[in-house]
Structure 1
Amino acid sequence: MQETELKLELSRAGAAALLKKNPFESPATILQQKSIYFDTAKWDLLKRGVSLRIRQSGNERIQTIKTWDGSAAGSFARDEWEQPVAGDAPVLDDPQIRALLDGVEAELAPQFEVHVRRHRWNVTDGDATVEVVVDLGNVVAADREAPLCEIEFESKAGPPAALFALARQVDRTTPVHLGVLSKAERGFRLLGPAPGAVKASPSPLAPDMHTAMAFERIAGSCLKQFRLNEIALDWSRNADVLHQARVALRRLRALLSISKPLFQDSRFDQLRDEFRWLAGETGDARNIDVMIVGARGEELSERLQVPRDDAYGMVEAAFSSARARSLMIDATEWISAKDWRSDRSGEAMLEAPAREFAAAVFDRFWKKVAKGGRNMIDADDESRHKLRIAAKKLRYSAEFFAPLYNSKREAKRHRRFIAAMESLQDQLGNLNDLVTAPKALAALGLSEVSGATELSSADDKEELLHEAAQAHDEFIDTKRFWR
């Protein structure tokens, strides 16, 4: 069977406040649970997008196997197989299960455990029934342990909109954030090195996939990358983590921009505006990080530390705000509910092969980048800024749809194309940093500090312009992988 659920994270204090208020109009059923998760020493099931656990509640043990695509954020639609078992050893006699575990059955072993106190309600609203679960506990892996505090909404009957209505109701009681990690993923992250900056990973696309499904999976992947980096920022004001959070937002905004012809939906424009706002809230912190790296004197670097702390405080305030939390829930609902597929204006394109849509996007932005860089050295800063934006959209699009081009020839050309795009984008980014530095320093009152003028050196700009022009020439000469 397939389950559809929405997962949110909350603090221990927030969970206590929620349980005390109990907005679900009935007493909770409380269970003590222990779950053992299995995999091979090489984590073969995780790599296949499969989790296998045995959960004990009282004297009952239930074995559950789930599949997921790894890109979901908040709202999960997963295949699931459950069966009672007598002990803590997996039972693999179902043909479908054996196919999922093909070749690794004999190597399965316990990897970690999850211990939770579960509070459960069945909430009915009209024709919708939703199971609400609050789990408080710990993930235990070898000699490591991490707290777990999350709330899940699983649709049992009726429209999925009920999940999101309940999520907003809970957020009015206590702040909740979009959940992007399954309990299985939490355990494996605990077994590995401490999480840091999370880069974008390929979305699970297939060459025969329709545009609508490709859009949904890419958008989910972008949301997940953002939330993982947002979580990492909670304990570390790390420049790389902030940068990757910004990259995730830029990628999502690029996806919405290139997909605009697909949608005639007021929510689309609203979401795009809100993501622009959220990305804008990170700009000052990122600019200061760049200037600290480029500073050639200790005085400037030291003077930038206080405004850096203030800027990171603003980022944290924005990310934790009710506006940002609502944005994540709204975006997840819009992506997962899929009612935009009923919009007749873009239906033909949504149902067309994703490769056709991707190729049209590549052609459009390739022409913009090719034309925009012809007069690189003599162009004004604003023109180069527009070129930089077009180059970002082309590169992100090429990364989004890469799995659709998986022949040996296409993959080889794709690698070369991305390398050329990265080089061009780096040079344009360096030029942009050079142009924005004087304004940023002036806003901070640091224009006269020793080392400030070196951040916008004319000699550096002249050198970067020639390097950018060369990178553009190499981009033009690189074969297009989609042709």
Structure 2
Amino acid sequence: MHETELKFELSSSGAAQLLKKNPFDSSPTILQQKSIYFDAPGWELSKRGVSLRIRQSGNERIQTVKAGNGAAAGSYTREEWEQPVAGDLPVLDDPEIRDLLAGAGPKLAPVFEVHVKRHRWNVADGDATIEVALDLGKVVAADREAPLCEIEFERKAGSPTALFALARKVDQMTPVHLGVLSKAERGYRLLGAAPGAVKASPTPLTSEMSAATAFAHIAAACLRQFRLNEMALTWSRDAEALHQARVSLRRLRSLCSISKSLFEDSRFDHLREELKWLASELGDARNIDVMIDRASGEALSHRLRDARDDAYGAVKAALSSVRARSLMIDTAEWISIRDWRTNQSGEAGHDQSSRDFAAGVFDKLWKKVAKRGTNLIEADDETRHEVRIAAKKLRYAAEFFAPLYASKGESKRHRRFITAMSDLQDELGSLNDLATASDMLSALGLLDVAGAEELLGANDKAKLLQQAAEAHDNFVETKRFWR
């Protein structure tokens, strides 16, 4: 069967407040649960996107096997198989499960446990029936443990929009943040090194997918990348986590921009503007991090570090704001519900094949970068910035749709193309750092501090311009992988 649920994280004090107010019009059923998760050596099941657990509640034990898309954000739709078992050892008598485990069965062993006190409600909302579960507890792996506090909304019947409406109702009572980690993923993260910055990873796509389905998969992966890096920022001021959080928002905005022809939706422009706002809230901190890396004078470095503390404080305030939390809920709903209309001509443009759509995007952006970058040395800063933005969109698009070009020849051309794009982006990025350094230092009141002049890089600009022009020539000459 399929499982559709929406997950959020909250603080223990927030959970206590929610239990006190109890917005679900009934008393909860309270269950003590212990779940044992199993895997084969080398975490073989996890690498396949499969989890196997036995959950004990009272005298009842239920074995659950799940398989699905780990790139989802907030809203999960997964294959699930459940059956009662007598003890704490997996039972693999279902042929479908045996096929899914593909030889891993004899090697299965416990890897971690999850202990929770579950408060469960059944909520009726119009034609929808929703099971709400508030889990308070911990994840235990060997000699490590981590607290667990999350709330799940699982649709049993009716429209999935009811899940998001109920989530907004809860968020008004106590702050909740979009959940992107399953309990199984929490256990595996606890087994490894402390999690830090998370870079984008390829999203599984097939040529048979429609353009709209591909968009939804990629967008969910971008949202997941953002939340994972946002989580890292809650316990550290990691410059790379901040950078990757901002990258994930830029990737999502770029995806929306290149996919605009798929939608005629009143929410589209609003969400894109809100994503722009959130990315901008991270901008000052990121710019200061870049300048700290380039600064050589001790006085300037010290002043920049002080400014960095203030900037990261502003980032924390923005990420914890009602506006940011609402944006995550709204975006997750828009991506997962997919009630997008056809384009203005009445044709179902979003039914176009993902590969045909991607090729059209590549052609359009390639021409823009090639044409606008023909004279980078003589161009003004604004024009070079426009080339940089177009190049960034093309680079992101090439990464988004890379799985659609998986033959040996296509993969080889794709790698060469990405290398040429990266070189061009690096040079244009360095020029952009020079162009924005003066305004940034002025805003921080640091233009007159010793060492500031080096960040303005007037002596480096001619060299960077020449390197950018050469990188652009190489980009134009690089064979296009989609042709």
Per the normalisation by structure 1, the TM-score is: 0.99
Cα 1:345–1:68 change in 2 (3 A) is: farther
Offset, 1:127: 1.2
User: What is the aligned partner in structure 2 of residue 303 from structure 1?
Assistant: 303
User: What is the aligned partner in structure 2 of residue 219 from structure 1?
Assistant: 219
What pairs up with 1:158-237 in 2 under 5 angstroms?
158-237=158-237
Partners of 2:422 and 2:143 in 1: how far apart? Answer: 41
Offset, 1:342: 6.2
- Residue 95 of structure 2 corresponds to residue 82 of structure 1: no
Partners of 1:462 and 1:246 in 2: how far apart? Answer: 29
Offset, 1:50: 0.9
Partners of 2:343 and 2:333 in 1: how far apart? Answer: 16
CA deviation string 1:102-143 (max 9, x = no partner): 121111111110000000000012211100000000000111
Gaps of at least 5 residues in structure 2 are none
Q: Which amino acid aligns with 2:151?
A: I
User: What is the aligned partner in structure 1 of residue 431 from structure 2?
Assistant: 431
Cα 1:367–1:35 change in 2 (3 A) is: same
Partners of 1:343 and 1:287 in 2: how far apart? Answer: 39
Partners of 1:336 and 1:461 in 2: how far apart? Answer: 46
Match of 2:4, SS? strand
CA deviation string 1:290-313 (max 9, x = no partner): 111111211111011121111111
What pairs up with 1:40-439 in 2 under 5 angstroms?
40-340=40-340, 348-439=348-439
- Residue 10 of structure 2 corresponds to residue 10 of structure 1: yes
Cα 1:120–1:343 change in 2 (3 A) is: farther
How many residues are treated as equivalent by the alignment? 483
Cα 1:151–1:345 change in 2 (3 A) is: farther
Partners of 1:107 and 1:476 in 2: how far apart? Answer: 52
- Checking the alignment, whether the CA contact within 8 Å between 2:49 and 2:70 is kept in structure 1 is yes
Partners of 1:137 and 1:447 in 2: how far apart? Answer: 51
Cα 1:11–1:343 change in 2 (3 A) is: farther
- Checking the alignment, whether the CA contact within 8 Å between 2:342 and 2:349 is kept in structure 1 is no
Match of 1:244, SS? helix
Partners of 2:417 and 2:315 in 1: how far apart? Answer: 34
- Checking the alignment, whether the CA contact within 8 Å between 1:71 and 1:204 is kept in structure 2 is no
- Residue 438 of structure 2 corresponds to residue 455 of structure 1: no
CA deviation string 1:48-94 (max 9, x = no partner): 11111100001100000111211100000111100000111111111
Offset, 1:204: 1.5
CA deviation string 1:243-288 (max 9, x = no partner): 0000000000000000111111110111001001001111111111
Q: Which amino acid aligns with 2:315?
A: V
Q: Which amino acid aligns with 1:98?
A: R
Q: Which amino acid aligns with 1:270?
A: H
What pairs up with 1:440-479 in 2 under 5 angstroms?
440-479=440-479
Q: Which amino acid aligns with 2:451?
A: G
Offset, 1:154: 0.3
Match of 1:459, SS? coil
Partners of 2:277 and 2:138 in 1: how far apart? Answer: 35
Offset, 1:210: 1.2
Offset, 1:348: 2.6
Q: Which amino acid aligns with 1:74?
A: G
Per the normalisation by structure 2, the TM-score is: 0.99
Partners of 2:331 and 2:160 in 1: how far apart? Answer: 14
Gaps of at least 5 residues in structure 1 are none
Partners of 1:378 and 1:126 in 2: how far apart? Answer: 63
Partners of 1:428 and 1:137 in 2: how far apart? Answer: 49
Q: Which amino acid aligns with 2:297?
A: G
Offset, 1:346: 6.9
Partners of 2:390 and 2:144 in 1: how far apart? Answer: 45
- Checking the alignment, whether the CA contact within 8 Å between 2:33 and 2:118 is kept in structure 1 is yes
Larger displacement relative to structure 2 (94-103 or 74-83): 94-103
Q: Which amino acid aligns with 1:94?
A: D
Percent same amino acid among aligned pairs?
72
Offset, 1:462: 1.0
Partners of 1:333 and 1:49 in 2: how far apart? Answer: 23
Match of 2:348, SS? helix
Match of 2:340, SS? helix
- Checking the alignment, whether the CA contact within 8 Å between 1:112 and 1:142 is kept in structure 2 is yes
Partners of 1:340 and 1:207 in 2: how far apart? Answer: 21
Offset, 1:98: 1.1
- Checking the alignment, whether the CA contact within 8 Å between 2:36 and 2:112 is kept in structure 1 is yes
Offset, 1:349: 2.2
Query: How much is the aligned-residue C-alpha RMSD, in angstroms?
Result: 1.1
Partners of 1:116 and 1:149 in 2: how far apart? Answer: 9
CA deviation string 1:198-236 (max 9, x = no partner): 000111111221111100100000000000000000011
- Checking the alignment, whether the CA contact within 8 Å between 2:391 and 2:425 is kept in structure 1 is yes
Partners of 1:371 and 1:123 in 2: how far apart? Answer: 57
Cα 1:344–1:85 change in 2 (3 A) is: farther
Offset, 1:344: 7.2
User: What is the aligned partner in structure 2 of residue 39 from structure 1?
Assistant: 39
- Checking the alignment, whether the CA contact within 8 Å between 1:420 and 1:471 is kept in structure 2 is yes
